[in-house]
Structure 1
Amino acid sequence: MPARVGYTSLLRTPRAWTFLLPAFAARLPYAMLSLGIVLLVEQTYGSYGSAGAVAAISAVAQALVGPQTGRLADRFGQAAVLVPTVLVHAVSVGALIALALGHAPLWTLFVAAAPAGATIPQIGAMVRARWVAKLADQPPGYLNTAFAFESVTDEFTFVVGPVIASAIATGVSPSAGLVAEAALTVVGGLAFAAQRRTAPARHPRVPGTGRASALASPGVRLLAGTFLGVGSVFGGMQVSVTAFAGSVGQSDLSGTVYGIFAGGSMLAGACYGMVSWRRAARQRMLISYALLVLGCSTLWAMPNLTALAVAGLVCGFAIAPTLITGYTLVESLVADGAKTEAFTWLTGAIGLGLAVGSTVAGMLIDAHGAWTGFLVPVTGAGAGLVALVTLRRLLVAPGAASRTVAKGGAGPQQQLARVGEG
């Protein structure tokens, strides 16, 4: 069982703040891009279905290309990948804004949305990889707390990001939210890339040898599949909350309601990281995911925006524990040279689930009304739970049994592997 480690002890890690502060600014855009696209396209084209489809193209591109950038970061270093990525992202978002405001054919927005999503910086995965490198000589409890801290930070960005995007888009102009997103990406991304002293070591390819993708691990594939379900919750909620708020004449509150949902997750994540858990990580994953499905099952029946905010808060309580445990498990399933890639596959799976969720929710809303969009989160999460229950045996790390019974003298990598065992 990992020792309990407080957040204060974790944040005293030398030079941690030098990468955490720019990382926060650089990861805010991840929470702003999809909602910014939805708000812009819905205002200019008058269709939630079209808005969801453009956001979906962006998210699909991020899900497919993101893990490849993670793999390149493992091989060549994070800065070498980040600098060109954020610059291309800013140009792509600018093109998307210009096309939408010019009422260009919808397919041209798809063309611009693809590179915009593909180049969203994978800051969350890169920060987690930095924590793994920084804490290699510390007890496993430090890594548990670090992943909890990162999940809380992710959720805080999903509290702040949608509120910022919604407030700017409704208070200034539909395009202003995406302008702010692109600016934060460039400034935060370049500042994070400049912190080279805290970056993990590169793992260049050795001539004459191959390197298996992190996705070669069955456990990583299962976790990616379950994170698809979590992504469908995010995507379905974003579009459905926006549509529901619009249907009751309170469009300006959509970002706030979605922020409350993310706030529930942030609160749960903060508490989760302060507990010394006796249950194995696999068991905790099953419990938190089942609670997520239960929470999502009530969303469609909420009669007003206040009730929806409360239901979203309760639903959000299960998000962070699920994500923290998933990242903890995946870290134990792959070798050192594939950590960033593995984390990025999970992040990408969330993005892909978000894409599917927002598209299906948009289509249901256009055809049958705002409430039907809330059927997407419970369906996606339910499918993920079935997969998790059926294939949970795949989440055992290779050689876990031998590490569990090992006595004194275990090295840092053996200690880190025990994190996934609970």
Structure 2
Amino acid sequence: MSDKLAMFGGPRTVHRADVTADRIGWPVVTDAEHAAVRGVFDKGLYTSNDAGRGEVSALQRDWAQYVGVRHCAAVANGTAALELALAALDLEPGAEVLVPALTFIGSAVPIAQRGLVPVFVDIDPDTYTIDPVAAAAAITPRTRAVIAVHLHGLPCDMAALRSLAERHGLHVIEDAAQAQGARYQGRRTGSFGAVNATSLNVVKNLPTCGEGGLITTDDEDLYERVVLHRQFGEDLRAGRERDYLSRVLAGNAKLSAVQAAFTRCQLARLDADSERRDTVVRGFLGRLAELPGLRVPVCPDDRTHAWHILRLRFDPEPLDAVGVASGALRAVLQRALRAEGVPVQPYQIVPLPGQPAFRRTADPTRAYRVEDHPVSAAVIEDSVTLQRWHLNPACGPVLDACADAFEKVWANLPRLLPVARSMDYRPPWHAALALEGAA
């Protein structure tokens, strides 16, 4: 193998011919999924209004049993799941909800959609999940709930968050969209909060053939309110004649039976796929951890990791890169790795308080500022992510080639550091702030 970097004209390390669908394709679709979807057509029960006899009801029972809760309601997508969870809590308009500053915007949009105020909280620098200490500092007399986002597949410190919530009378809502199957102190994610949400988007560890979401709770009243908000506020429990009376103002967030049938097949393999993925991902990260200045994800001993996204941070100091901005180093390494065939990319380029949509619609008494969340900003600045390729448990040979590429790039660091030093670099969120200023 040539040691010359691909970005300087050398050969790629990860060859396109080796990155095949059977190794990195996701979701993995088998004969079981085809048969299950055909079964929906044969049965003719297409929606969640199936009197308990269709695939949606079956998925709800399966997921509740798997997570270890009493109730599950299937809905149209993960964002709808969070919004309906908030709706079920019936928080007063203007109430504040804590949410991490680093997450997908879908974790925070439902807060604003319910007429509530998102309060962004910085993250822990090791787990990338909400920092309980920062959350405690953000609580005011108007705070009513905290959304625990299990970012990248790692559960939050639920003991600390639940203790905080109990002291202040707050509701806990889990956003487990990236952590299906993960455990914290032996319990599944989705079983800790008053009401919890996950996503079945096609790129998730537990996917459907498109979009979907699941809401879990042990509270009978919360469950009934979720179901009431799922379809126009109507009471559609099995055994009742439809009266077309809307008890609350609500939209339509039903899941289709085709999507439920597909997900039930995926759920049957979730634990086996998770175990195989854990083995290959840990092997890959073990090789990367040997490289100086490369910080791989951690998984505390009291929890398991779903490995939905792999975030890798770069530290200039161990690389003798004095005077090189961490963001400039990240940008050069990202370019070199992509040239070698490794599809690293950012996951979010701005903390949520820097998103133009939030800054334009913010409570006039509240100023959302990126600089108030230094850990989130630093993580975005110095890291890249690897997404989707590793979800397929057969990805081992591809991850081995990716590790070869990392080692090749590190062997060429003396050629890359001058490039990083000479860059006219600006943090990625400056583009978002510039967009706001131009509007």
| TM-score, length-scaled by structure 2 | 0.28
Q: Which has the higher strand share?
A: 2
Q: What TM-score do the two structures reach when normalised by structure 1?
A: 0.29
Task: Decide which structure has the larger Cα Rg and report it.
Answer: 2
Q: Which has the higher helix share?
A: 1
Q: Which has the higher contact order (CA 8 A, sep 6+)?
A: 1
